[in-house]
Structure 1
Amino acid sequence: MNSKYTTLLNNLNEQLNFIDLEIDDQIKKCEQAIAIILKSIKELKKVTSKINFKSQTEEIKFFKEIKPQFTSKLIYFNRVYKIEMKKPNGGNRILKKYNNNELLKLKAFFDSELEFYQYYRSGSTYLDYKYFLRGKFDIKLALDSYYFETDTSFSTSHDFKVATILANDLIQLYLENQLIMIDNKDISEKSQRKPNIKLMWTGSKVALTELLYALHSEGVFNNGAVDLKDIAEYFEHTFEIDLGQYRRAFLEIRARKSERTKFITSLNETLLKRMDNADDIA
């Protein structure tokens, strides 16, 4: 990379790091970051206008690798600014839905630009002469309308798309971190809301073992992505009970000559009876 480009990028990163450390308010942070990035891009444009690229390879490198490092930051902070400004007032459930919707927007961009995304991510170069040389646009390459309004001396048909891909990676991390923070807040709030009564398992260990295997077989915990051992330990901790050799107990259950699912069947019959009684009362 040209030493002037390196200096510009290093200075920009230092200023953005300083803002990140000094400003906690996300909206104010974005406002200051955008102002700094715009100045840096303006300086980058001035430096570039004074340099004649020695070859097409050098020009391609600038618009494919160097310029997007600047413009991706502008896209990122501008998008985060809009996300924060439009964030709804509400509880954790509303905020989770909002952030997940923003993630869906990123996926929509990925889906609409899949062909170029795969080209760029795979490190392909065979179309670089069309994508990253000025004045070499091809209308058949699904150009965005804004390209025709840009300064063609400082833009190619796809350098902004590269910047958007880089920015979207950061935006995805930002949104995922927001969701993690909401989940942690949920956990914290739930841990503070303790039940008024302590529940003890007063049924037999064999019955609980039967229930344990049934729930694990149904895959009701973590979309089925959890080990039987983890569920057993959770039951033992929650109900303060030692299930002992529950795997051996399951073998004995499986070997029953009649009514192997004795407890599950009893649950079903009891619930149906309760439903029938409720119908009678109604």
Structure 2
Amino acid sequence: GTCGRDSYHKNGADFTNYYNSFSGVSIMMFIGFGYLMTFLKRYGMGAVGLTMLITVVALQWGVWIEWFFSMWYETDWIYIPMNIKTLDTGLTLVASILISFGAIIGKVNPLQLVIMALMEALFYAFNKAIFLEGALSFMDPGGTVAIHMFGSYFGLAVSMMLGKPSTGTDNEINHVSDLFSFVGTLFLFIYWPSFNGGELEPNSPPQQRAVVHTILSLCAATVGTFVMSSYLNPTAKFRPVDIQNATLAGGVAVGSVCALTMQPSDPLMIGLVAGMLSCYGFARIQPMLEARFGLHDTCGI
């Protein structure tokens, strides 16, 4: 890698835009994901602290491994430009690992978690560089497939391997832990447009479309989540777990198409359906998977 003169952005406006994106995504990683996982009353400190550990370890390792597979596929071996855009791209890799962390939170120790992060970064970078961006030329600015789907399936596979945890009081939830988890949800909600538009050319029409479409989709997902949460609950009350997670499904679902030219109704419909389906998954599918297959998913990724 190099931090020499040629690695920096010659256009100051580009640096500012990429740094703004980096700042937004960093807040999502450290505060958003960190506090989202504090819903377990006995794992609040671990959730925030280990999220920080995973983020910094995976960022350092991910930057190098992503460039390695990219250069391997292109057979073009160059110095890695160590600039803010490279670090911004590395943070998207971290998001995939934190999603996987959600499936096994509270079931592994810090060393096991770091090992999982290093291994997942390897497979993530290989999948992204060789298959998605290489062989398939897949357009996925928001990482719906490359980040969220990969992280979910990887985390579920690790959880299946670990098995169902022993029953006890460690997975209990209280009002205080739920409140802290809501803080994470709000930070993720606010900065998700930065995540979906961060990889696109600064100030370009695709980036502007990505931001607007993500906001619309998130808003629609929130409406759908509140409606579905009340409908699926026998007491007709809103379940905190639905609001904390399913409201964000709109940002995930619209990620692959957020930069396309669409009518406003399109991202609204995507978000509405995503929020309702995600809410249904928390209420019905997650308990079924645990009962039939022993697949324990702590956060319901």
Which is bigger in relative contact order (C-alpha 8 A, separation at least 6)?
Answer: 2
Q: TM-score, normalised by structure 2?
A: 0.26
Q: TM-score, normalised by structure 1?
A: 0.28
